[in-house]
Amino acid sequence: MDIQYEIKYSNRKTVNISVERDRSVIVRAPQGVSEDKINYIVKSKRDWIIDKMNHKQKYPAKPEPKEFVSGETILYLGKNYQLTVVDDIFDGVEFNQRFTISRANQKEANKLFKDWFYERAFLKIEPKVKFYAQQLGVKYKQVKISDMKYRWGSCTPNNNVIFNWRLIKAPMYVVEYLIVHELAHLIEPNHTPEFWNIVSIQIPQYEEAKTWLKQHGYLLEVEF
Ligand SMILES: [Zn+2]
């Protein structure tokens, strides 16, 4: 498992790693320490970090997996929608301000929802990538939706941009922030002030999006 962390540069003298109550990992570092070095330090402290993250009293337990029964809610684009299981027989998931599945498919509901979320993720994300790539003047090869754990998005050395299908649980402004974040890495690979400047021009409320992601980071570890 790759540990996701956020780097905060300051005038401090040493590197410090902390695990927050929401299990997010913050690395506080002096100005000028490279991301490679920080990555190396985080890796060397991996066991300690994971131990902390699994501390039950301090950190809330992961939510229970969904059972896909009527009345359950499913998060989509930042809103909870109710699920109804009906006797009618039809394929897949229907969505119209609520989710509906056929009782005949209830056992495979997890897979049906995953397929539906993958499809929606691509439909929502792809046009935005196109739009923001134009704004930023960057070129990418392909948009891919994947099942990576512990990350919302990434860009590959051959300029593919990949997003976790779970990202579509987030409100659209958060989705757009992450798209811009990944595309901005095609210009500036590190989280330098220049990087955040590029991001903030496209997404002025990016701090809000970061806060949302921090509070909902656990969503990366659950299916729905
Ligand atoms: Zn980044």
CA of 89 to the centre of ligand 1 (A): 44
What confidence tens digit (pLDDT) does each residue in 173-206 have? 999 999 999 999 999 999 999 999 999 999 999 9
Q: Please, which pLDDT band fits residue 57 given cuts at 50, 70 and 90? A: low
Query: Is the dihedral angle over the CA atoms 202, 208, 210, 216 positive or is it negative?
Result: negative
Q: How far apart are CA 202 and CA 205, in angstroms?
A: 9
| The pLDDT of residue 1 | 61
- Confirm if 174 and 212 have CB atoms less than 8 A apart: yes
CA of 190 to the centre of ligand 1 (A): 7
CA of 74 to the centre of ligand 1 (A): 28
Kindly give the interhelix angle for 35-44 and 46-53, rounded to the nearest 10 degrees: 70
Domain boundaries, given as residue ranges, for the chain = 5-53, 73-114, 117-221
Q: Which of 162, 211, 169 is nearest to 74 (CA)?
A: 169
What confidence tens digit (pLDDT) does each residue in 69-94 have? 999 999 999 999 999 999 999 999 99
The CATH class for the domain spanning 117-221 reads alpha beta
